[in-house]
Chains A and B, each alone.
Chain A
């Protein structure tokens, strides 16, 4: 035991000597490696062995506070942008699936029953429809894709990237994606449909966006004494005309409120679903479930019955405000 402690001690001495010799640049690089590997002990050693200097410099609380404030503003922009893009992504996904299942239904009617799709998205296409997308595709999917392409050829429209060789696999992918839109039942054998998944994800993302938007808005208004727009603009890049930036960028309070108003149905549905779960839980743990504390479940259920997103926002604002208080300068 004694020898092991000695050894540890020796290793530490060597490390201290080596670490003490690092220049700032080398030390930062070692920090990056250690942080990526979640090596907290190593990070601590790097910090402790860094040289200490005497400085006469501008109020560090201000300098570091400005960096923190800028980072907080940048984080708010980034979080809202990410959630905003995700909402658009799921909304388009939902609409795409709706359009494809309608298209399949129209084809079913056109074929007078020779082409059918069941509720699990299993297509049954007539053998007379050509199957020319190659053996890597399911024959029914390939026949459906051929039908899509045939319809497309009747259009006067063109895809920006339409070429002879590109259009073919493209339709097969659309057919395959479209067939994933069914399967509304969740059973042992079937996962929920892509359409239902897109909507569930949309609902959850709208809820996240609601929370993030109101939390940052209230943090700005109540704790930083400024509007959300001012807070966001502090780190938004200057907007140039015809900017080709592809993200939603430059979100404003108005734009956020508009999208939330459009998505209100999903917010209501989410709160309602939480309250319904609460009602069930409030009656206690189901008999089949052993080992769970009945009182705890009932209490959780009673809380969830009153589920209100604004309460969640309230709690998040309080927590962030506390973190802000601990930040140098605030």
Chain B
């Protein structure tokens, strides 16, 4: 033990000398690299070995406070914006899976039984050798078959895609991709594995819904967390808090951090409230579903998560207490 301590001591002696000689720019570059590796001890050394200087400056408590809250405001805006998009993405994902399953069911009826996927999405596709599908042999037979069926339907659809080639039969990429998605939307069959207690794992559709619910739970916690932080710790509204670092010239700056991706509204309190109220049923059902999943997977009941409002309160408290100590 002593020799390790000695070694550390020796290393620190060398580091102190080398580190003490760094100029500010070099020190900052080393700082970023150390931060990337999460080497907190080295970051501490970097800070400790920085030269001490004499200043006359505007109250640092005030100027640092501005920096701290500006950073937190940026963080809040990005978090809420990304989560808002994640919710919309998962809704579309759920709808996509459902529409494909319904489509397969309609095709099954149209084919009068010759295309009949089972509950795991398996069906007897005619062999490549006997069939001339538009997608040839680079796709698995079932995907080639289904993609061809989708494309045939598409030829009669009175709608267009943006990047569609003139010849509607030529959109080769889209349909095998959709067919593969359509077939993987079913649950997976695990009944062949004797040592597993479950005989199937949930379908991607069910996973998309769970993932939507999780995104909503996280959004709820973070939205109310930031709101409580703004209102109770800073005595401003959430909208005011989100707006503090919107500089008027932001629009002219490259990579403007506020320019939402095309067509996505920028988050504010009203938008957040709206999306949460539209999805209230998922939030209400979340806890019950977690228990059901745990039961199905043979696990003990999940740890009772705190009430969502308590979680939001704890989130706000953590920000209030920690500030931006991660610097």
Contacts and interface: CB of A to CB of B under 8 A. Distances in A.
Interface stretch (B1-9, B200-208, B314-322): B200-208
B183 interface: no
Interface string A220-250: 0000111001111111001000001111100
Given A53-B59, A75-B74, A31 B66 contact: yes
Interface stretch (B83-91, B133-141, B191-199): B83-91
A200 B263 CA distance: 9
B163 A265 contact: yes
Contacts of A61: 24
Interface stretch (A127-135, A208-216, A303-311): A208-216
B92 A89 contact: yes
Contacts of A265: 163
A204 B262 contact: yes
Contacts of B50: 58-59, 62-63
Interface in A137-155: 148, 151-152, 154-155
Nearest to A177: B95
B145 interface: no
A105 interface: yes
A226 B159 contact: no
A125 interface: no
Interface in A21-68: 24-25, 27-29, 31-33, 35-38, 47, 50-67
Given A78-B78, A95-B181, A101 B157 contact: yes
A199 B240 CA distance: 34
Which residue, of A56, A117, A177, A234, has the highest number of chain B Cβ atoms within 10 A? A234
A281 interface: no
A73 interface: yes
A16 B235 CA distance: 23
Contacts of A121: 159
A193 B159 contact: yes
Interface in A145-180: 148, 151-152, 154-161, 163, 166, 174, 177-178
A293 to B, nearest CB: 22
Interface of A is mostly: helix
Contact of A24 (B57, B59, B159): B59
Nearest to B107: A106
B174 A52 contact: no
Contacts of B241: 32, 36
Interface string B68-87: 01010011001101110110
Contact of A226 (B29, B157, B187, B236): B29
Contacts of B174: 98
B130 interface: no
A13 interface: no
Interface residues of A, number: 130
B61 interface: yes
Contacts of A74: 71, 74-75
A50 B89 contact: no
Contacts of A78: 74-75, 78, 82, 257
A265 B81 CA distance: 27
A203 interface: yes
B243 interface: yes
A266 B105 CA distance: 32
A326 interface: no
Contacts of A216: 255
A205 interface: yes
B236 A36 contact: yes
Which residue, of A47, A154, A177, A247, has the highest number of chain B Cβ atoms within 10 A? A247
Contacts of A75: 74, 78, 255, 257
Interface in B223-242: 234-236, 239-241
Given A25-B65, A52-B58, A155-B101, A224 B29 contact: yes
Interface stretch (A4-12, A80-88, A284-292): A80-88
Which residue, of B85, B156, B243, has the highest number of chain A Cβ atoms within 10 A? B85
Nearest first, the 7 closest Cβ-Cβ pairs linking A and B are A86-B261, A78-B78, A36-B240, A99-B99, A106-B106, A119-B158, A28-B65
Interface of B: 24-25, 27-29, 31-33, 35-38, 47, 50-63, 65-67, 69, 71, 74-75, 78-79, 81-83, 85-86, 88-89, 92-93, 95-96, 98-103, 105-107, 109-110, 118-119, 150, 153-154, 156-163, 174, 178, 181-182, 186-187, 202-203, 205-206, 209-211, 213-215, 218, 234-236, 239-241, 243-246, 248, 253-255, 257, 259-264, 281-282, 285, 289, 326-327
Given A74-B71, A103-B99, A119-B159, 15 more contacts: A33-B240, A59-B27, A75-B257, A82-B260, A86-B264, A89-B86, A96-B93, A99-B103, A103-B102, A106-B110, A205-B261, A226-B36, A230-B33, A315-B254, A316-B254
19 contacts: A24-B65, A29-B234, A29-B235, A58-B47, A62-B24, A85-B82, A93-B92, A95-B92, A96-B96, A98-B154, A98-B161, A103-B99, A106-B107, A160-B289, A166-B281, A184-B160, A208-B259, A247-B82, A329-B28
